[in-house]
Amino acid sequence: KNEVEQSPQNLTAQEGEFITINCSYSVGISALHWLQQHPGGGIVSLFMLSSGKKKHGRLIATINIQEKHSSLHITASHPRDSAVYICAVVGGYGWNTDKLIFGTGTRLQVFP
Amino acid sequence: DADVTQTPRNRITKTGKRIMLECSQTKGHDRMYWYRQDPGLGLRLIYYSFDVKDINKGEISDGYSVSRQAQAKFSLSLESAIPNQTALYFCATSDFRGGLETQYFGPGTRLLVL
């Protein structure tokens, strides 16, 4: 069993829909990243959070440390949001971040 | 200009050849990483470096070596390439502030080993 599980693996939506991508993990962590990988392969860091909630434009990320779960929400989805969204956790080894554990990603396609 | 660059962006090589993937950054970060990404798998850490004199093996370092020539440069070498090293390779740097770390990824190098 992977230490970081994402669901769903694939997601299709119509433009304007509200999107939720989930990430569950089984290890102690100090932080969690949400990354976006574009069809061309480039990876962009969207959020890093260790508690609560962060918002950037139409993107919202939440984390529940007790439940070992994080969600990424996209409001008013748009075709340009089509990408692979990757959850990665930072192993909770004090300040040593030598282990980033990645989920396998959620492929999102938003149709006009 | 991009903060983290990788060269080459695409490479086709033959089994047994030695190749080097290069990564440069202008962010002034001490920490640099090399990952590989395979279809259906998450990114996996190959090597990482917390400063010029600090090199550490990651999860899947066998068959790879690295060189940290300067703060801004971190190279990954495949000493004798094999087909199962066909993958997308990412370099990343990180900024460690206030106990939290943000990673900045390069554009990736797509490697095909025949």
Give percent of chain B with pLDDT exceeding 70: 93
Average pLDDT over residues A18-23: 98
Distance in angstroms between the alpha carbons of the first and the last residue of chain B: 33
pLDDT > 70? residue B75: yes
Chain A contacts to B (CB-CB under 8 A):
2, 4, 30-31, 33, 35, 40-45, 48, 50, 86, 88, 90, 95, 97-105
pLDDT at B1 over 60: no
pLDDT number for residue B94: 86
